[in-house]
């Protein structure tokens, strides 16, 4: 297949491209990575495939219909996988508009370009074409402690500007299938973690803050529950959905690993205590600090992934303990990548303050 991946320099997108090219190379003729390179996009995430003749990087916006249309035509694209999104809840609370522009308007324009491209294909190629939209469990809202996990038919009830923007994009994808027949697929995943994650999210933030001797901030009482999904397991699920998923369907992808934020932070501290002890010999857990809770903070997310397991045979390979252990080891072994991310983040913050 010739595949257009949007947002491929981000955390999940870059993991997907590496897995796609290393593990499924025989099935891939061309991978075109379209990424705007916002603060979380990093071309270094794909340094291992940058020299591959099957790989092409294009800096650009999914909202640029003419650019997308040109790429679809030039590279004879048969598959679109849309990772491109603004994804950090805190940032959506501070400034919601970029989330609407990228996640809603951008997805709409990407769908428009894909629909025109698909409409012009020969009948056999039209049948094989796929548009896969990557979404989140946050579109479903929040769960009580005893409530059943989200399924594909759970009503949407987004509680943050980020979640609302992703819910809107999910509805657009569904509408383009129902109205125009575009062969779309949607996956709604739980909280991802693993290598190459930008350090504003909980797990890499805690790892790097701990190593730098900084406080380890926990919102509220730390009892918020999330279902944690190792990114490589998620990428395998995406590949299965592309190969065998039924057009028009949604598949929930969860890690089957519900953990409180407090437990996650303490487990990271314990792993670091054994792998990279503090110079003073004290436990990293002493750096834990509690901060005011986030406005509208959802209490619990949980994914029921029965459908993808039953229909496609997927289950996560990693437990939370094994996945987190691999993640901590990766960050310890890749301090240069971490330092570069930190320097770029601080440079952007300084630029913003001086503007």
Give the residue numbers marked as catalytic.
137-138, 162
Residues 6+ apart with CB under 8 A from 246: 185, 311
DSSP states of 5-63: EETTTSHHHHHHHHHHHHHSGGG-SEEEEEE---TT--GGGGTTTTT-TTEEEEE--TT
Helix/strand number for the chain, H first, E second: 13, 12
Residues 6+ apart with CB under 8 A from 105: 63
Please, which residues bridge with residue 49 across strands? none
CA angle 166, 167, 169 (to 5 degrees): 65
Q: Single out the residue of 83, 96, 90, 109 nearest to residue 31, CA to CA.
A: 83
Residues 6+ apart with CB under 8 A from 237: 187, 189, 251, 253, 308, 312, 314
Calpha distance 110→112 (Å, rounded): 5
Q: Phi-psi category of 330—alpha, beta or left, where left has phi over 0 and alpha has psi -120 to 50?
A: alpha
């Amino acid at each position: 297949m010739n595949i257009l991946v949007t947002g491929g320099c981000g955390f999940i997108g870059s993991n997907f491209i590496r897995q796609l090219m290393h593990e499924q190379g025989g099935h891939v003729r061309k991978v075109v990575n379209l990424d705007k390179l916002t603060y979380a996009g990093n071309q270094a995430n794909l340094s291992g495939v940058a020299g591959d003749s099957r790989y092409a990087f294009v800096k650009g916006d999914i909202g640029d219909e003419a650019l997308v249309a040109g790429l679809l035509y030039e590279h004879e694209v048969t598959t679109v996988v849309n990772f491109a999104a603004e994804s950090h809840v805190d940032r959506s609370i501070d400034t919601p508009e970029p989330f609407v522009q990228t996640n809603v308007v951008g997805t709409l324009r990407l769908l428009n370009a894909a629909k025109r491209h698909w409409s012009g294909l020969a009948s056999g190629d039209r049948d094989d074409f796929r548009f896969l939209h990557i979404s989140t469990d946050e579109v479903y809202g929040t769960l009580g402690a005893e409530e059943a996990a989200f399924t594909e038919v759970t009503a949407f009830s987004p509680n943050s500007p980020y979640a609302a923007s992703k819910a809107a994009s999910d509805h657009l994808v569904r509408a383009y299938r129902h109205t125009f027949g575009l062969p779309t697929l949607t996956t709604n995943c739980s909280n991802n973690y693993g290598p190459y994650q930008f350090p504003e999210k909980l797990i890499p933030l805690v790892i790097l803050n701990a190593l730098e001797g900084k406080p380890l901030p926990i919102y509220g009482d730390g009892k918020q529950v999330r279902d944690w999904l190792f990114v490589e397991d998620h990428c395998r699920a995406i590949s299965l959905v592309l190969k065998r998923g039924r057009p028009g369907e949604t598949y929930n992808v969860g890690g089957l690993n519900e953990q409180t934020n407090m437990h996650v932070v303490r487990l990271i501290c314990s792993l670091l205590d054994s792998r990279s002890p503090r110079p003073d010999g004290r436990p990293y857990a002493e750096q834990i600090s509690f901060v005011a809770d986030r406005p509208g903070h959802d209490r619990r997310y949980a994914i029921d992934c029965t459908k993808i397991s039953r229909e496609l045979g997927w289950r996560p390979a990693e437990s939370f303990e094994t996945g987190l252990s691999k993640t901590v080891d990766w960050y310890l072994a890749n301090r240069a990548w971490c330092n570069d991310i930190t320097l770029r983040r601080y440079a952007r913050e300084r630029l913003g303050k001086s503007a």
